Structure 1
Amino acid sequence: MNTTTNPGDHRAEGGAVSTASPRDYFDLMKPRVMTLVVFTACAGLVAAPVAMDPVLAAIAILSLAVGAGAAGALNMAYDSDIDAIMQRTRKRPIPRGVVSKADAYGLGIIASILSVMMMALASNYLAAGLLAFSIFFYSVIYSMFLKRSTPQNIVIGGAAGAFPPMIGWVAATGHISLDAFILFMIIFLWTPPHTWALALYKCGDYAAAGIPMMPVAKGPKSTRLQILLYSIVLVIFAGAPVLTGLGGIAYALTSLGGGALFLLLAWRVFNSRAGEAGSAEEGALYAVRVGDKAARDLFAYSIGYLTVLFAALIIEHGFGAYMAVPGVGG
């Protein structure tokens, strides 16, 4: 039997030899989520009314990226049991056996400490405190308690993903303002329709893992209604930056046009008649019903909607193209 191992080999779960690559450890940090975190944080930092030293700003954003990655690694370590069951997550590093839970926890804890320390040094203690709380909220309150216990998991837990633009703002200004809170609320309200759209067509996965996502616990009928209601509130609230003067003409047009399409797609999800009975049993079969495409379309579009919305703020404030809406804001 060949016992030769590569220099980078280590023992994964169960003592099996693993040849984890740097990419496997990077995947633990949920890079796609990290990208959205960095982008929205940049929007908060750039839109803030205080100019921040470019080097310190870059370090602050890097701190947020590392913090988001830390929370992702801690989440993957704790959720490795259900990740191994769910089709869309079973190829993550821990279920594949290439990284151990202990290594994932170690990476998450070290990265958490490093990110908070970097943020404190680059900006201020309030921003560092908010970053520390957001990591704790996602990896402990959401992952360890809310996710497996209540269909409102993503509603409450969505706060963790809403902190980045507020942290970016606070890193530049040193305080929380109304505009920072508005940026927080936009993502907070965006999270339920975005995540429940995914849960509708991945309902079988969540049911198999025993996760009480809304379609599993309350059925697709109730979920579709809540997606529509949250979408309406989101689109209305997304216009708030125009009223405060944070958003200009470009943002107003983006919010109006993007919001109209968001509502149209949410209506399509609501109007789909799959799983009309609304039971948990029907919800478990939802992924193979006709509402699947409508949910997929809304999920895919929701990412672009949030991206373009925050991009408008970055363009207006960061590139000098800001044009205030006449008679609005201060």
Structure 2
Amino acid sequence: MKTAVSSANSSRLALVFADFKEITKARLAVSVVFSSITGYLLGAVEINYFSLLLLAFGGYCMVGASNAYNQIIEKDLDVLMDRTKNRPIPSGRMSVNTAMFIAVLLTVLGLVSLYFLNPKTAMFGAISIFLYTSVYTPLKTKTPLAVFVGAFPGAIPFMLGWVAATNEFGVEPGALFMIQFFWQFPHFWALAWMLDDDYKKGGFKMLPTGKKDKGTALQIIMYTIWMVIISIVPAFGFTGRLQLSVVGATVIFIMGLFMLFFAFRLYENRDNVSAKKLMLASVSYITLMQVVFVIDKFI
């Protein structure tokens, strides 16, 4: 009997944990934390591991809170889409009140954690939550410009790490912000291309032209080019302490060309297979690019 009860409790806890990961979008949150940590490593003169822990915890809380608020706001639309109908709220596994409690708790914990680093970091974290939940989320059913608005909170994590390390906002974190800002357009539009039919069920307008056409593909190419250019600007000495060697810039440029190749393939084929390859290439690019920046600094 005790074994059966223990097994049931374990299963229940596993389901609760799974729903927590879903409501906070754990994989996305972890990738955001990774961006913040790389930004911190680039900005830090001396690495403080307690500060890194605060940044990672606060960053996860900020992203988790934003996603929880988003799923509360969009609960009636999530029911309509295949990719979201099994989320905790629309499926009935989690009440709105529980989700709101999680969102508010994560907001408080995240802001306090980031404030202990410095007030500027907490301020940018708060701005990120506000823009994502109060501007980007409502705009998604109104206009494709929502993606432009959403790119602002999405670009904050990379530069947030630098601000956390230095308590300063200048050209260096500005450059990190711009890299991730322009990266988001080809990444998200590739994803939106794949999910366009499902998005339309919920009334979301995510592609820039509203269609999977050459116009959308061309904009993806243009933003990819800008992303590559901005990624190697630190090699030319215009970004203060944020620097990049010729070797590092060459590696990043080559990676950017690979991503651009998949953008052109999408323009030629205009199919979901090409969109998926571009999306995967974009994930690889942002991760490896940040790794190259860090390695380049320390060697």
Give the counterpart of 1:200 among 193, 196, 217. 193
State whether residues 209 and 216 of structure 2, in contact with CA within 8 Å, keep that contact through their aligned partners in structure 1: no
Structure 1 position 216, deviation (Å) = 7.0
Q: Structure 2: 5+ residue runs without aligned partners?
A: 1-7
More helix by share: 2
Q: Structure 1: 5+ residue runs without aligned partners?
A: 1-5, 11-18, 275-290, 322-330
Matched, 1:266 2:246: no
Worse-superposed segment, 73-82 or 218-227: 218-227
Structure 1 position 251, deviation (Å) = 2.7
Structure 1 position 222, deviation (Å) = 1.8
User: Any runs of at least 4 consecutive aligned residues in structure 1 with deviations exceeding 4 A, and if so which?
Assistant: 6-10
Corresponding residue for 1:246? 243
Matched, 1:124 2:104: no
1:97–1:238 distance in 2 versus 1, CA, 3 Å: same
The 5 A counterparts of 1:167-182 are 167-182=160-175
Corresponding residue for 1:3? none
Corresponding residue for 2:154? 161
Structure 1 position 165, deviation (Å) = 1.6
Corresponding residue for 1:301? 281
Corresponding residue for 1:288? none
State whether residues 37 and 55 of structure 2, in contact with CA within 8 Å, keep that contact through their aligned partners in structure 1: no
Q: Deviations over 1:169-221 (max 9, x none)?
A: 11111111211111111111011111111111211111111111116725523
Matched, 1:142 2:142: no
Give the counterpart of 1:40 among 2, 18, 35. 35
Structure 1 position 264, deviation (Å) = 0.6
Q: Deviations over 1:18-72 (max 9, x none)?
A: x951221122101111111111101110000532422122212211111111111
Corresponding residue for 2:5? none
Q: Deviations over 1:281-301 (max 9, x none)?
A: xxxxxxxxxx11111110111
Corresponding residue for 2:104? 109
Structure 1 position 253, deviation (Å) = 2.8
Corresponding residue for 2:3? none
Worse-superposed segment, 218-227 or 21-30: 218-227
State whether residues 200 and 215 of structure 1, in contact with CA within 8 Å, keep that contact through their aligned partners in structure 2: no
State whether residues 54 and 113 of structure 2, in contact with CA within 8 Å, keep that contact through their aligned partners in structure 1: yes
TM-score (norm. length: structure 2): 0.90
Secondary structure of 2:144's aligned partner: coil
Bigger Cα Rg:
1
Distance 1:124 1:28 in 2: 28
Worse-superposed segment, 207-216 or 221-230: 207-216
The 5 A counterparts of 1:204-243 are 204-214=197-207, 217-243=210-236
Distance 2:97 2:135 in 1: 20
Count of residues in correspondence between the two structures:
289
Amino acid at match of 1:160: P
Structure 1 position 263, deviation (Å) = 0.9
CA RMSD of superposed structures (Å): 2.3
Corresponding residue for 1:277? none
State whether residues 203 and 216 of structure 1, in contact with CA within 8 Å, keep that contact through their aligned partners in structure 2: no
Give the counterpart of 2:68 among 62, 73, 97. 73
